[in-house]
Amino acid sequence: METLKKVSKNVSNNLSKTMKISETENAVAEQKVESNTRYDASLISDYVSSISFAGMDYEKCSNFVVIAKYLPSDKIKDYDHVMNNLLEFYLENIESKSTQQFNIFFVTGLAKVENLPKVGAKLKKNFHQS
């Protein structure tokens, strides 16, 4: 019984630390959104958590994860304008890692169909590598 209490306390402490780190990362991301001029921060503030830097792989490529369930619904007003601003935010995050090569992993699990992005000409143009 004593061991179970210790394990429970360790899990609780680790969860608390993880939550504090997550809160700090969110605060930093929100500051970053507020201080930029390439995109309208007020439009994308609810969607900043849709992209995350996942580290570098063995070939020194930056890895990013986009989680579809945090993307805007295609039913919102000015959807294209919001997505263009969000794309600019993504591009700035990618550029901030100063890497020539990068991978984007798109996670669609638990996302509604309306949250899946409509692949437009701008997205194809910006991410197409020749």
Q: Token digits for 70? A: 């945090």
Is 11 inside a domain boundary?
Answer: no
Burial label, 107 (beta-carbon count in 10 A; 0-12, 13-18, 19+)? middle
β-strand partners of 98: none
Q: Range of 89's domain?
A: 36-127
Is 15 inside a domain boundary?
Answer: no
Is 61 inside a domain boundary?
Answer: yes
Collect all residues with Cβ–Cβ distance below 8 Å to 81 and sequence separation of at least 6: 43
Is 28 inside a domain boundary?
Answer: no
Is 71 inside a domain boundary?
Answer: yes
pLDDT in tens, 50-91: 999 999 998 888 999 999 889 998 889 998 899 889 989 988
Q: What is the predicted pLDDT for the residue at 8?
A: 43
Is 95 inside a domain boundary?
Answer: yes
- C-beta pairs of 74-77 under 8 Å, 24+ apart in sequence: 74/114, 74/115, 74/118, 75/114
Closest by CA position to 67, among listed 45, 88, 51, 46:
51
pLDDT at 129 over 60: no
Is 10 inside a domain boundary?
Answer: no
Is 123 inside a domain boundary?
Answer: yes
Q: Domain total for the chain?
A: 1
